[in-house]
Structure 1
Amino acid sequence: MPTPCETYIENRVRIQPDMTNNYDTAHGGVVMKLMDEVGAMSAMRFAGETCVTARISGLDFTRPIPRGDIAVVEAWAYRVGRSSIRVRVVVDREDPRTGERKRTSESCFVFVAVDEDGSPIEVPELHSPTDRDRQLEERGRAADSAE
């Protein structure tokens, strides 16, 4: 049985000029794409199968990511259904010179595990044996209740 820690993925992308809007900050669509990609990696690591995006809830952009800063995207699975995996995805901006981080975006993505024909397939149960696993699961569930 997979655990939240086993599905935890952190990715860093430096925001380049071609990723920005007229205000020289990361375009919202770029941030959303990064979140979807890292979230899908987490879901696939959990399911051991191809996963597709089924739902995105409450995607908030609370502060911009300036050109040249780093987008740090974290994702982990925290709840499952028969064929679905709920993945918490958070984004911080990170100053490449100091490492200072500030939260910019967060959401819950729901992915569905599919077979070669695109039909939903069952996923394993989520198991949280360690304190860190339980902490990740609780962070995801707490965000659900806030939405």
Structure 2
Amino acid sequence: MASVSDTFIENRERVQPDDTNNYASAHGGNVVKWMDEVGAMAAMRHAGATCVTARINSLDFERPVPQGDICVIRAYVYETGRTSIKVRLRAFREDPRTGETEQTTDSYFVFVAVDDDMHPTPVPDIAVETDRDRELQSEALAGEDQH
């Protein structure tokens, strides 16, 4: 059984010209795609099975990610159901020259584990063992209540 911390994944995408809209910032669709991919990785790490997106509970774009910056995506599993996995996702803009970061997007996705025939399959409970696990989980649950 994986713990919350075991499922934590951070990934980076450099925002290139073909990733941008006409305002020279990352196109919202690209940010959602990157979040979906990283969220699925966190869910699969927990489930040990293929996971598909079932729902995006909320998606708040707070500020843009400018072209040339790095879009940092952080994801982790914070709660599970019988076949479902809730993943907290946040995106940040990172200046590649200074490493300065600022949160740009906040979201909660639900994934469902599926077998080889694409039928939902049970997932284990998420373990909450360390202070970091408790902190990440409580932060996600508190934020989920606000969305």
TM-score for both structures, normalised by structure 2:
0.99
Q: Who is 2:16 aligned against?
A: 16
For the residues of structure 2 that align with 1:132 and 1:39, how far apart are their CA atoms? 19
Q: Who is 1:63 aligned against?
A: 63
Report the AA paired with residue 132 of structure 1. R
- The count of aligned residue pairs is 147
How far 1:144 sits from its partner (Å)? 1.0
Report the AA paired with residue 122 of structure 1. P
Structure 2: give runs of 5+ residues left out of the alignment. Answer: none
How far 1:85 sits from its partner (Å)? 0.2
Residues 34-88 of structure 1: CA deviation (Å, up to 9, x unaligned): 0000000000000000000000011010100000000000000000000000000
How far 1:143 sits from its partner (Å)? 1.1
How far 1:24 sits from its partner (Å)? 0.6
Give the 4+ runs in structure 1 shifted more than 2 A: none
Q: How does 1:65-80 map to 2 (within 5 A)?
A: 65-80=65-80
Report the AA paired with residue 54 of structure 2. A
Structure 1: give runs of 5+ residues left out of the alignment. Answer: none
Q: CA RMSD in A?
A: 0.5
The percentage of counterpart residues that share the same residue type is 58
Q: Who is 1:102 aligned against?
A: 102
For the residues of structure 1 that align with 2:143 and 2:87, how far apart are their CA atoms? 11
TM-score for both structures, normalised by structure 1:
0.99
Q: Who is 1:52 aligned against?
A: 52
